[in-house]
Amino acid sequence: MKISLNDFTSRNLAVVNWLEGLDQAYSLMNKKGIRHLPVADDEGAIVGLISDRDFQRAMWIEQPDFASGRVAQPSFDPNRTVRDFMSWPVTSIDEKRSLEDAALFMLDKKISALLVTKNGDEVVGIITTEDMLRALLAAHESPASRAVAKIEGAIAQSPIGAIAQALGNAGI
């Protein structure tokens, strides 16, 4: 089974403006459940990337009170913006390149994300180390497990599946 870069590219990007406050950008990243945000300048051009590690560098964290169980809440200098902590220039790969090319590039540059572009300039998505792990798992899924999943799905949708469910519900 050949796996394409496009199969694992995240397409619905949350983008943050480079002049936005760190607290708003951090909140967006957490709300979306992601670890990387492309950064756009005032004209909308993607000029960088800010990651969870960049936010960790920027955080002010008060000392937690372990005895009371109080968890420290991060805060950020209100005078600093995304631009102050983003990585730039932006690193990208064309969507026509292979997943292997993307993985090798990420390893070589020691980076955790690449923007995916169309025709070398239009940003269409992002590929991250997490996406690479999903690709690895998909590549190593055995043919037998795929066959079992298909058979189980077919049985569940057939009259036999309904009968088996009714017998199971009755404790038989």
Per-residue pLDDT of 11-21, as tens digits, reads 989 999 999 99
Q: Are residues 49 and 121 in the same domain?
A: yes
pLDDT at 134 over 70: yes
For residue 163, CA distances in Å to 90, 137, 167, 172 come to 56, 34, 6, 11
Question: How would you classify residue 38: left for phi > 0, otherwise alpha for psi between -120 and 50, otherwise beta?
Answer: beta
> What pLDDT does residue 2 have?
62
CB 46 within 8 A of CB 116: no
Structural domain that includes position 94 = 5-141
pLDDT in tens, 30-58: 999 999 999 999 999 999 999 999 999 99
Q: Are residues 77 and 95 in the same domain?
A: yes
Q: Are residues 76 and 56 in the same domain?
A: yes
